[in-house]
Structure 1
Amino acid sequence: APGDDLLTVDNQLITGLPGSEQTLRMQRVPGLDILRLTGSIPADAVPRVYAVAMRDPAETAARRLFRLLTERGVTVEGTTQARHEPAGVDAAMAAPLLIAQLTPPPLLDSVQRILVNSQNLHAELLLRRVALARGELSPEGGAEVLAALVSEAGLTPVEAELFDGSGLSSYNRVTPRGMADFLRWAAQQDWGDELRGLMPVGGESGTLARRFRGTALEGKVFAKTGSLHGVNALSGYMTARSGQTLIFAVYANDRPADAPSIIGEMDANLVRIAEEN
């Protein structure tokens, strides 16, 4: 929010010529509430809104609540603190008091937000919603359902091994072939067309709104992006020049921090494949 001191922005961006490539990079400084911006933004770039994760969501919520209360004339004694229970310790609370309750959106709305906007929080919460549907209160129950789904799709642990819902765990492993095989299996399910319809569309929506514009794949590629430090990925479906649907999974791993963006090359190769098939 405007005026917040919850996150410090270290702005090292430069302004590029109109029409130049946007190479904005956002990096969280480990252990600190600092967001470092590097790269270049063209002078004629349109405004965009980005969402970033907070280092300690509980502490952030406490500090913001403190500010909201004091701004409204409420006297708050002491300092803000976030208390975290050690792993494996049950929080014993007698007669818990419900302060507020938020009803989650319909499941498909969450899935679409996850796919279109690459919303990690909703992806992690989805794992817990799956567990809750089984009557469990821990994400482990959701992870079991996820593992069973991957197995049903015919993938082995060598091809896919997942440890969370958001995909941010460094232990996650999915090979490009495994991802393509899963997408092929998904397309054969009753819900396959619906899944494809929830994905970002090249040149039109979500994380692909600015990609594939003016190419043979504008409006004809339906795919999910994946971005981590030094990693870019794109997997999904595209309609080739012949009208045939092609399944693809493209990964770029361990890209040096000072290397130029690889996204343009990834997209260009996909366009070339679509034009030649």
Structure 2
Amino acid sequence: MKKITQMLLVCLLLIGLPITANAYMLDQAITKNIGKSHTSVSLRSLTTGNVLYEHNGQALMKPASTLKLLTGSAALHVLGRDYTFSTELFIDGVIADATLYGDVYIKGGGDPTLQQQDFLTFAKILKRHGIRKIQGNLYGDDSAFSGNALTPGIAKEDETEYYAARISALTMSPNTDYDAGTVIVQITGDKTTQPPSFRVLPNASGMKFVNQARTVAKTGKNTLTVKRQYSSNTVIIAGNIPQGSTVKEWVTLQDPTINTLHAIKNTWQSTGLNISQVTVGRKVIPATASKLYTKESLPLHKLYPVFMKLSNNSIADILVKTLGLEMYGEGNTENGVAALRDYAYSLGLNTKQWRLEDGSGMSHANRVSANELTALLAKIQQQSIYTNFYQGLPIGGQEERFVGGTLRKRFDTNALRGRVVAKTGSITNVYTLSGYVTAKSGRQYAFAIMTDKKNAQALKQIDQLVEVIIQHY
């Protein structure tokens, strides 16, 4: 033990950190719980801004969703807390005898909160202008965003999953989680040995659903899967579902713009609009078109907690493209990433330690150091956006979904509840956590714990390290 302690003292002297019993306890906890290899830890004072403890603090690691700390703060700073996304309804043609002889256009502005209730509002607006039939086409203008609809680094097998949705300037969400670019498939087990029933929210949206699933006895095992076939609009429902049970699964849209237009058309038909001959397509709004209505999203400060607490990748990707549009005039991922770097530089961060490919953290090519994450957290505390930024983070042990978010089932004992306000992160073999922690001393710190080449056990091990910080700092 004496030899180990001496070695630790030498290491601390070499990296210029204060030699404390607290640092020794944290160092020992890393060794015992998670292992020092492929692990990076940084603990920073919010009073002085100095690093109090680090283990591989300068190592460039995969941030996973802790990268949203940069994306979210950049969006609040650049776009502003009251920023809204617009979706506009246009017509181009002549109205006669309750018929529009011409086309309807929906111009998207990246709104992740566009939903079926808005499609119903569009129908009401058309009827208010005397339109009961459309003798033309329904077009979507998604020109606000450009480039690949998928952010870099998305694996082929993940493209059907809600966390890997394609992003378009004209998209929709099936509920108030605002997982833009998805629909919900709700499956119910009915008669044993028969296919289960299912419904799609908001509707089929131009997609084809193939039901290969089977209802089994109530005591049977749920093996249900709902997968969109790669690069197609075909969704396969397969496996077994117990009788009497209901399962909800999210599945991504192949082409958010076109699928959203189909969802709008289906909704309009349900209101009695005569649009049986209408086809859908993608087209920029002509100068001759007339605007009838503008739908505004929630302001960013109200959307922000949904984004951060639920770690919403769709919103992250939309924010990145919107930053690119607002700062460089073209809404693509490359410009958005450049905007993130510019923001990091404006804060005085070391941009050489931020290697970015997206803003959601999904890409395994992203890199940042734990010290840079805690530096970001410390600097944000001095910014006007801090209140909105802090309130948007998940709070450990708080059961309410839109309070605790991804931390609602962690740090849930009486001694720990509410002490950790932080962003989680996980991609394959990568587990991270970064944010603010209030120790038993009453002092608050910025921390970052980053791991790679680990299994899911790392989640518990990360939490144990945070508990050491709470106990000893």
Fold equivalence (TM over 0.5): yes
TM-score by length of 1: 0.68
> How far has the Cα of 1:214 moved from its partner?
0.7
1:209 to 387, 398, 408: 408
Determine the structure 1 residue equivalent to 2:394.
200
The residue type paired with residue 252 of structure 1 is T
Map 1:225-264; keep pairs closer than 5 Å: 225-255=424-454, 259-264=455-460
By how many angstroms is 1:179 displaced?
1.1
1:273 lines up with 2:469 in the alignment:
yes
Shift of residue 147 of structure 1?
A: 1.2
Q: Find the counterpart in structure 1 of residue 338 from structure 2.
A: 144
* Cα pair 1:127 1:165 within 8 Å, conserved: yes
Distance 2:365 2:255 in 1: 21
Could you tell me whether the CA contact under 8 Å between 2:419 and 2:437 is conserved in 1?
Answer: yes
> Which of the two has higher C-alpha Rg?
2
Query: What amino acid does structure 1 have at the position aligned with 2:392?
Result: L
**8 Å contact kept, 1:216–1:271:** no
Q: CA deviation at 1:103?
A: 0.9
Tell me the TM-score normalised to structure 2 length: 0.43
Equivalent pair of 1:201/1:221 in contact (CA under 8 Å): yes
Ranges in structure 1 where 5+ consecutive residues have no aligned partner: 12-25, 37-46, 86-90
Q: Give the deviation of 1:10 after TM superposition.
A: 11
The alpha-carbon deviation at position 55 of structure 1 amounts to 4.4
* CA distance, structure 2, for counterparts of residue 160 and residue 247 of structure 1: 18
Instruction: Quote the offset at 1:251 in angstroms.
Output: 2.2
> Within the alignment, does 1:188 sit opposite 2:382 as a pair?
yes
Query: Quick one: structure 1 residues 126 and 240, their matched pair in 2 at CA, closer, same or farther if it must change by over 3 Å?
Result: same
After superposition, the CA RMSD in angstroms is 4.1
- Structure 1 residue 218, shift from structure 2 partner: 0.9
| Distance verdict in 2 for CA 1:135–1:161, change over 3 Å | closer
Tell me what 1:125 maps to.
318
* Aligned residue number for residue 104 of structure 1: 297
> Take 1:183 and 1:9, find their aligned partners in 2: how far apart are those partners?
48
Instruction: Tell me which of 158, 163, 166 is aligned to 2:360.
Output: 166
Equivalent position of 1:220 in the other structure: 419
1:176 and 2:370 aligned: yes
- Secondary structure of 1:118's partner? coil
In 2, the alpha carbon distance for the partners of 1:190 and 1:246 equals 19
Following the alignment from structure 1 to structure 2, what is the Cα–Cα distance between the partners of residues 189 and 75?
A: 51
5 Å-filtered alignment, 1:26-37, equals 31=231
SS state at 2:377 partner: helix
Q: In the alignment, is the contact (CA less than 8 A) between 1:66 and 1:76 conserved in 2?
A: no
The residue type equivalent to 1:162 in the other structure is L
Amino acid at match of 1:126: L
Q: In the TM superposition, what is the alpha-carbon distance from 1:72 to its structure 2 partner?
A: 6.3
In 1, the alpha carbon distance for the partners of 2:471 and 2:236 equals 40
Instruction: Kindly provide the CA deviation profile for residues 225-275 of structure 1, in whole angstroms up to 9, marking residues without a partner as x.
Output: 2233333321100001111112111223344xxx54532222222123211
Tell me by how many angstroms 1:183 deviates: 1.2
Structure 1 letter corresponding to 2:389 = L
Distance in 1 between the 2:469 and 2:384 partners? 28
Task: Determine which structure has greater relative contact order: mean sequence separation of CA pairs < 8 Å that are 6+ residues apart, divided by chain length.
Answer: 2
Structure 1 position 28, deviation (Å): 8.3
Query: When you count strand as a share of all residues, which structure comes out higher?
Result: 2
* Between 164-173 and 105-114, the greater mean CA deviation after superposition: 164-173
C-alpha displacement at 1:71, in angstroms?
A: 5.8
2 CA distance for matches of 1:251 and 1:275? 20
Shift, 1:82, TM fit: 6.9
Alpha-carbon distance in 1 for matches of 2:425, 2:236 = 20
Code of the residue aligned with 1:253 in structure 2: it is D
For structure 2, the 5+ residue unaligned runs are 1-183, 187-198, 214-225, 238-245
Residues 179-224 of structure 1: per-residue CA shift (max 9 Å, x gap): 1221122223343344223211111122212221115331111111
- Which residue identity does 1:102 align to in structure 2? K
Give the corresponding residue for 2:18: none
Q: Report sequence identity in percent.
A: 26
**CA distance 1:59–1:132, shift in 2 (3 Å):** closer
The answer on whether the counterparts of 2:437 and 2:444 sit within 8 Å (CA) in structure 1 is: yes
